[in-house]
């Protein structure tokens, strides 16, 4: 298939109106989208990704008005949108228009991306864009244009060239379809911020009724975010000592806040290829770099990726969730 790679939002909107599938960057990660009113096109996304058919897609809008035209927007939902949208928040709301994908569900996950170019494109499309993250199901989401091109050139109808994601992890997902509201997926907008609006917000770890795991969101039962390499999540002290011991092993990679004695010390242990070692200075920088680092490590055939635990600071919630999921998958 010939893929149109362009920054021209009109050309890419044209593809969507004709039933095409387009890969596009958002402030969180890359998405792979189709018109929310074209069921066939939306179903193609599942085929391309290998996504389980019962894991619904997020509908992306250019405005709050657009959301109101298809969903019941309660007072608190509107306040959350006014505070956090456009931005990395997804609300799951009761659906008003049954024709929007996925038709069989009574609820719809909605989000307004931050980049004005992406909103302009959605506006041009003339419909919301249903999109999951642009990656193969179960693998980490993509955050670099080079990776999006490598995976999707020749596979989708178009790739929209615009600013690359900078947050690096998927949106926070909040379920507002029943009381109490539920945090379905942690992200860059954290529960402390949400609780100012939703004091009874529930954080669903494992909800058990007679010992059974009942996922409050379909996506929660699936494996997510894991690179091919094994991921080891370690507290700071262990991370540093392991690095000093095993850093020389050329099949290991390292991402964290400190690597012990300064790297330019005259010790052979520290002279490792910088490509296998990513130094970050905040949880935010860590999130932003994480999936790209995973992707590079897989490209290089690394066997183990050692990750230092996030700092007890803002930005920990979503990052720790992704690191735990990646390390659980081993």
The answer on whether 224 is annotated among ligand-binding residues is no
Q: How many C-beta atoms lie closer than 10 Å to residue 110's C-beta? A: 28
Q: How, if at all, do strands 58-60 and 129-131 pair?
A: antiparallel
Q: Per CB under 6 A, does 287 bind ligand AMP?
A: no
Whether 275 contacts 197, CB under 8 Å? no
58 touches, from ligand AMP, Mg ion, none (C-beta below 5 to 8 Å by class): ligand AMP
| Tokens (6 digits) for 24 | 């596009």
Chain centroid, CA 17 distance in Å: 25
Nearer to Mg ion by C-beta: 114 or 276?
114
What's the rounded Cα separation, in Å, for the pair 15 and 25? 16
Q: How many C-beta atoms lie closer than 10 Å to residue 301's C-beta? A: 10
Whether 77 contacts 93, CB under 8 Å? yes
The answer on whether 304 is annotated among ligand-binding residues is no
Nearer to ligand AMP by C-beta: 106 or 235?
106
Q: Per CB under 6 A, does 92 bind ligand AMP?
A: yes
What's the rounded Cα separation, in Å, for the pair 59 and 99? 13
- Torsion over CA of 224, 226, 230 and 235, rounded to 10 degrees? -80
**What is the footprint of ligand AMP within residues 180-219 (CB under 6 A)?**
184-185, 217-219
**Cis, bond preceding 102 (omega within 30 deg of 0):** yes
What's the rounded Cα separation, in Å, for the pair 242 and 38? 51
By CB under 6 A, name the one of 122, 162, 173, 234 that touches ligand AMP.
Answer: 173
What's the rounded Cα separation, in Å, for the pair 151 and 134? 9
Write each residue from 50 to 89 as x if it is in contact with ligand AMP (CB under 6 A), else as -, in one continuous string: -----xx-x-------------------------------
Q: Per CB under 6 A, does 100 bind ligand AMP?
A: no
Q: For the purposes of burial, counting CB atoms within 10 Å of the CB of 211, is it exposed (0-12), middle (13-18) or buried (19 or more)?
A: exposed
By CB under 5 A, name the one of 133, 143, 283, 296 that touches Mg ion.
Answer: 133
Q: Per CB under 6 A, does 310 bind ligand AMP?
A: no
92 touches, from ligand AMP, Mg ion, none (C-beta below 5 to 8 Å by class): ligand AMP
Annotated binding-site ranges: 28, 51, 55, 60, 107, 111, 131, 133, 141, 171, 185, 225
Q: Which residues are annotated as a binding site for ATP?
A: 51, 55, 107, 133, 141, 185, 225
List residues near ligand AMP by CB under 6 A: 55-56, 58, 92, 105, 107-109, 132-133, 170, 173, 184-185, 217-219
Residues near Mg ion (CB under 5 A): 132-133
Known binding-site residues for L-threonine equal 28, 60, 111, 131, 171
């Amino acid at each position: 298939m010939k893929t149109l790679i362009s920054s021209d939002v009109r050309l890419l909107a044209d593809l969507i109106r004709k039933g095409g599938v387009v890969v596009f960057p958002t402030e969180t990660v890359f998405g792979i989208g189709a018109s929310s009113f074209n069921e066939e096109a939306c179903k193609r996304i599942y085929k391309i990704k290998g996504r389980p058919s019962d894991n619904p897609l997020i509908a992306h809008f250019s405005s709050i008005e657009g959301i109101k035209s298809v969903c019941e927007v309660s007072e608190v939902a509107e306040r959350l949108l006014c505070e956090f949208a456009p931005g990395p928040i997804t609300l799951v709301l009761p659906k008003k228009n049954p024709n929007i994908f996925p038709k069989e569900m009574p609820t719809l996950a909605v989000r307004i991306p931050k980049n004005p170019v992406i909103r302009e494109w959605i506006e041009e499309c003339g419909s919301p864009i249903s999109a999951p993250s642009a990656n193969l199901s179960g693998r980490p989401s993509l955050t670099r244009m080079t990776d999006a091109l490598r995976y999707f050139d020749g596979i989708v109808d178009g790739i929209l060239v615009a600013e690359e994601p900078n947050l690096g992890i998927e949106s926070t997902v909040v379920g507002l379809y029943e009381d109490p509201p539920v945090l379905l997926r942690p992200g860059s907008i954290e529960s402390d911020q949400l609780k100012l609006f939703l004091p009874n917000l529930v954080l669903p770890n494992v909800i058990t009724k007679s010992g059974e795991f009942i996922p409050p969101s379909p996506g929660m039962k699936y494996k997510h975010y894991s690179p091919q390499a094994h991921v080891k999540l370690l507290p700071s002290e262990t991370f540093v000592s392991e690095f000093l011991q095993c850093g020389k092993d050329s099949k290991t990679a390292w991402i964290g806040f400190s690597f012990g004695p300064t790297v330019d010390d005259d010790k052979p242990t520290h002279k490792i290829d910088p490509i296998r070692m990513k130094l970050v200075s905040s949880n935010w920088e860590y999130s932003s770099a994480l999936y790209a680092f995973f992707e590079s490590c897989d490209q290089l055939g690394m066997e183990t990726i050692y990750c230092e635990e996030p700092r007890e600071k803002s930005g920990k919630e979503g990052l720790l969730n992704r690191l735990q999921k990646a390390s659980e998958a081993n």
